[in-house]
Chain A
Amino acid sequence: MNRFVCLRPTSVAEAVAAASEPGSAYLAAGTNLLDLMKGGVARPARLVDVTHLPGLGAIETLSDGAMRIGALVKNSTLAYDAAFSARFPAVAEALLSGASAQLRNAATVGGNLLQRTRCPYFYDTASACNKRAPGSGCDAIGGANEGHAVLGFSDHCIATHPSDFCVALTALGAIVEIEGEGGRRDVPITDFYRLPGDTPEKETVLSPGEMVVAMRLPADSTAFSANQRYLKVRERTSYAFAVVSAAAALRLEDGRIAEARLALGGVAAKPWRAEEAEARLAGRHANRAAFEEAADLTFAAAKPSGDNSYKITLGRRLVTRALLLAAAGTPDHLPALPASPFAETPAGVLPEGVAHV
């Protein structure tokens, strides 16, 4: 790990001023950053430790029913918060399907938004990586890339975003609250991340020094509580990043879909909101045919970036199943294996004669 100076500001304004200096990085729990620093992938000269800043640790219900979550709230605290998980059960399920209990106890929701890709070439400092070292090339292209993107990638980068939490937040239209030297601004999470293009090192719209201070789930996102799920295929049942994941939420009226929300993980450099599929579902009966159509539409523009064409087939099936699970209703209790295809599945979700996947 490189040597660094550790600064401990006492207010958000002080933190923003400190982090605006070149070579600075914010430190919250450090569950991603310290790992990257130990591997020499991140080498900040200055760490701005925000762990003790006041006012960033609350989970609040606002007067219009929206919820606001401070950036320093722990992943586990949010997932088990009764008011939050009742309104946003798929977000809680996504949180609990990510990482391990130890990491969830430490990692903050702000840090989760800003975690870096798990592309092995990004992590391997001997490899070319335009995200880690702009202009050096991309060894994932033409390399071992079965885990890489099938949507929105470029000739410069085919990495995926690793978060589960952010996929569910994206489906529900979360707003990211950002504080910078110019004051505070709100950015919808769908606009918060950038696609790689020719600058894959620029992953978000944050300017130097800008800090995520909170996120909000707006009032209209509370209408989906009864029918929402997060579903995640992993290479092992627990403690693994998504190969492909989907967050599906429906607002049903008399068996018809009044409004649908859908986002995917593991397929692109950002959590992928499937707006065309959402629009196609509006007004339809909530059934397998409609969901398969939505799944096809979601992946209509998908193409392999290497050895990952399977993700397109897998993604279509996963979207269909996530929508069927959402239509079947949010379960009273989270399954023992959150978001797992091996969790108990309501009748009618799996095709006739099929067990599990």
Chain B
Amino acid sequence: MTLSISLTINGEPRSVAIDDPRVTLLDLLRERLHLTGTKKGCDRGQCGACTILVDGERVNSCLALALSHDGAEITTIEGLAEEGRLHPVQEAFIAHDGFQCGYCTPGQIMSAVGLIAEGHAHGDAERVRELMSGNLCRCGAYRGITEAVLEAEAKLATRERDAA
């Protein structure tokens, strides 16, 4: 039985045929749509490498059945840069060496984008660490990650103020 669902992925409306109800958003993105920026780490909701935004909120795409997300708006790491310019969170990760091997990085960055939008960190490193605890980094780049999130949070707040 093949069902079709509609998704908006990185701003682009897509109609996607689901031929197997077991397909997760992660597998859909990577295997069917060839958006391989989203990484499969544990595939069990423990590492955060597969973090994407669904309707603006960060979730583990490995634990989300595609069929349940008809109509959802999805943002992946491929959708962050605008007009060839990196997103402030991406820039901050580079500036602060927020990675080593890079495998967890798309998930870290998507999680950080979600965290900043949620607005509960208030520039506090302890809160950033707590709210980023769903993203594991086996290289141990946590210090740089925390600095990057704090800087990006401040920069985005300034930008929002200037725009207002």
Point out residues on A near B: beta carbons under 8 Å: 1, 3-6, 8, 27, 29-31, 34-35, 38-39, 47, 49, 51-52, 76, 80, 99-103, 105-106, 237-239, 336-338
Contacts of A106 in B (CB 8 A): 54, 59-60, 63-64
Could you say which of B22, B45, B67, B132 has the most chain A C-beta atoms within 10 Å of its C-beta? Answer: B45
| CB-based nearest A residue for B107 | A102
Distance of A258 Cα from B129 Cα, bound (Å): 39
Is the Cβ of A6 less than 8 Å from the Cβ of B111?
A: no
* A-contact bits for B127-144, CB 8 A (1 contact / 0 none): 101111111000000000
| CB-based nearest A residue for B59 | A106
CB within 8 Å for A3 and B134 given contacts A27-B65, A29-B63, A35-B45:
no
* A-contact bits for B10-47, CB 8 A (1 contact / 0 none): 00000000001110100000000000000000011100
The stretch of B81-89, B118-126, B148-156 in contact with A is: B118-126
Is the Cβ of A51 less than 8 Å from the Cβ of B68?
A: yes
Distance of A102 Cα from B24 Cα, bound (Å): 16
Q: What 10 A-B pairs are tightest by C-beta distance, nearest first?
A: A100-B134, A238-B133, A336-B126, A239-B133, A6-B21, A106-B59, A105-B57, A336-B127, A102-B134, A51-B68
| CB-based nearest A residue for B22 | A1
Distance of A6 Cα from B70 Cα, bound (Å): 13
**Quick check: is B7 within 8 A (CB to CB) of the other chain?**
no
Contacts of B24 in A (CB 8 A): 34
Is the Cβ of A100 less than 8 Å from the Cβ of B133?
A: yes
Q: List 12 A-B contacts (CB under 8 A).
A: A1-B22, A3-B20, A27-B65, A30-B64, A35-B45, A99-B134, A101-B114, A101-B132, A102-B48, A238-B133, A336-B130, A338-B130
Is the Cβ of B131 less than 8 Å from the Cβ of A6?
A: no
DSSP class of B's interface residues: helix, strand, loop or mixed? Answer: mixed
Is the Cβ of A31 less than 8 Å from the Cβ of B63?
A: yes
**Quick check: is B80 within 8 A (CB to CB) of the other chain?**
no
Distance of A239 Cα from B133 Cα, bound (Å): 6
Is the Cβ of A6 less than 8 Å from the Cβ of B67?
A: yes
Q: What count of chain B residues pass the 8 Å CB interface test? A: 35
Distance of A76 Cα from B119 Cα, bound (Å): 13
Distance of A286 Cα from B133 Cα, bound (Å): 35
Out of A4, A38, A47, A239, name the residue touching B43 (CB < 8 Å).
A38
Could you say which of A4, A49, A102, A337 has the most chain B C-beta atoms within 10 Å of its C-beta? Answer: A102
Could you say which of A3, A29, A105 has the most chain B C-beta atoms within 10 Å of its C-beta? Answer: A105
Minimum C-beta distance from A72 to chain B (A): 12
Minimum C-beta distance from A111 to chain B (A): 11
Is the Cβ of B63 less than 8 Å from the Cβ of A239?
A: no
Is the Cβ of A27 less than 8 Å from the Cβ of B111?
A: no
Distance of A27 Cα from B64 Cα, bound (Å): 10
Is the Cβ of A34 less than 8 Å from the Cβ of B63?
A: yes
Contacts of B132 in A (CB 8 A): 101
Out of B115, B124, B126, name the residue touching A101 (CB < 8 Å).
B115
Minimum C-beta distance from B74 to chain A (A): 13
| CB-based nearest A residue for B119 | A80
**Quick check: is B75 within 8 A (CB to CB) of the other chain?**
no
Contacts of A338 in B (CB 8 A): 130
Contacts of B20 in A (CB 8 A): 3
Distance of A34 Cα from B69 Cα, bound (Å): 15
Could you say which of A49, A336, A338 has the most chain B C-beta atoms within 10 Å of its C-beta? Answer: A336
Distance of A80 Cα from B22 Cα, bound (Å): 32
Contacts of B127 in A (CB 8 A): 336
CB within 8 Å for A105 and B64 given contacts A35-B45, A38-B43, A100-B134:
no
Is the Cβ of B126 less than 8 Å from the Cβ of A337?
A: yes
Is the Cβ of B115 less than 8 Å from the Cβ of A38?
A: no
Distance of A38 Cα from B45 Cα, bound (Å): 11
Minimum C-beta distance from B164 to chain A (A): 23
Given A38-B44, A80-B120, 19 further pairs, Cβ under 8 A = A4-B22, A29-B64, A30-B63, A31-B45, A34-B24, A34-B63, A35-B44, A35-B45, A38-B43, A47-B21, A49-B67, A101-B111, A101-B115, A102-B60, A103-B45, A106-B59, A106-B64, A238-B133, A338-B130
Distance of A99 Cα from B135 Cα, bound (Å): 11
Contacts of A29 in B (CB 8 A): 63-64
Contacts of A238 in B (CB 8 A): 129-130, 133
Is the Cβ of B133 less than 8 Å from the Cβ of A4?
A: no
Could you say which of A1, A27, A35, A337 has the most chain B C-beta atoms within 10 Å of its C-beta? Answer: A35
Distance of A102 Cα from B52 Cα, bound (Å): 9
Contacts of B65 in A (CB 8 A): 6, 27, 30, 34, 49
Distance of A49 Cα from B67 Cα, bound (Å): 9
Contacts of B59 in A (CB 8 A): 102-103, 105-106
| CB-based nearest A residue for B126 | A336
